[in-house]
Amino acid sequence: MNYERDNIHQMTGYTSGEQPTDDSTLKLNTNENPYPPSPQVQSKLLDLHVESLRTYPNPTADALRDLLAMTHAVHRDNIVVTHGGDEALRLAVTTYVEPGTAFGMADPSYSLYPVLAQIHGAPLVKVPLDDNWDLPRSFADELNEAGANLACIVNPHSPSGTLMNTDRIGQLAQSFNGVLLVDEAYVDFVDPALRYDAVHLVNAFDNLLILRTFSKGYSLAGLRLGYLIGAESLIEPLLQKTRDSFNVDYLSQVLGEAAITDRAYAEETWAKVRAARRILRDELVGLGFVVKPSQSNFLLAEVPLSLPKVAEQIYLALKNAGILVRYFDTPLLDDKLRVTVGTEDQNRQLIEALQIILKS
């Protein structure tokens, strides 16, 4: 007997980026921050007593929510803390998407979105991006016509790294009839000169959610900690109804508090990544790759040879050399590699390996 629901039986689950088989592998495929977390996180971790784990944590992570509210100039009731950004996405689907109604997304985008839609039994509406990786002007209209209750967009976009400005986000929120979730997993790496900040829009639009994570900017991908910012009317059902009880453990709450308290340290790592991103892009272009500017901590590099499977061959050659990058065997992406920006030494190793591979 097969006891799975039919839609679960027919679907393909989410495929995570490869994990290294040994410590010598250079991991530039899953967009982690190449620098360690704040020393305050280390200090807090060493000061923790096992007795603290005997009792349940604060169910709604109030101390962390207060710190985040101060950071973003909102109220505690505008924030729900989640077990990573992925739980935030799952909560949004569970809370806002009526079973059998549509879920909207840009295409290509984060590959977890279709999986969550399939799990929920929601028809998926994919709106193709244009040649510049921008949303078409018809995005909201297409989703409204399909009756979508929720739409997710990544900004800066993944896998291209392009950034949509806040005016455009406001226009989308105003035009879309459902809940618009802007996934800002990589926003900490945006150039400060652009003065990008979409959080203030939650005061103007009661259908807008902003997703943030500690995984990238705060170097805590192993902790699994994220949060959503939105109007109180959007946050309340997530916080009080659909969120798992005690969804964020004590360790995550305490270490998250330490990380956000030492935001200045995190900002230093963001600046290092931005500087390395500029240099790495120039070097990849010098090797013949086509690489558009990115506002994320990764670059999308189109291979210099327009031959079938060349991108896959380069990916495999790098893997054999002990360097992991991300290859997507899908239309629009099968001639490209997504490369996480590493430290100066890591980026140098990548470029040297590519030089050897391209010669052959």
**Residue 83 forms part of a structural domain:** yes
248 shares its domain with 346: no
- pLDDT value for 3: 87
104 shares its domain with 59: yes
217 shares its domain with 235: yes
Fill in the DSSP letter of residue 156: S
- pLDDT value for 322: 97
284 shares its domain with 137: no
The model's pLDDT over 305-352, given as tens digits with 9 standing for 90+, comes to: 767 789 999 999 999 999 999 999 998 999 999 999 999 999 999 999
254 shares its domain with 292: no
44 shares its domain with 128: yes
Residues (pLDDT < 70) of the chain are 306
Q: Is 26 helix (H, G, I), strand (E, B) or coil?
A: strand
78 shares its domain with 128: yes
- pLDDT value for 51: 94
- pLDDT value for 12: 87
Is the distance from CB of 202 to CB of 229 less than 8 angstroms?
yes
Fill in the DSSP letter of residue 337: E
Where does a domain end: 263, 294, 320?
263
Residue that is written with structure tokens 């949509």 in the block: 164
The number of folded domains in the chain is: 2
The whole domain housing 74 covers: 39-263
159 shares its domain with 71: yes
Give the global pTM.
0.96
241 shares its domain with 321: no
Q: Of 136, 129, 128, 133, give the one whose Cα is nearest residue 171.
A: 136
H and E: helices and strands count for the chain: 12, 13
Q: Which CATH number is 255's domain given?
A: 3.40.640.10
294 shares its domain with 345: yes
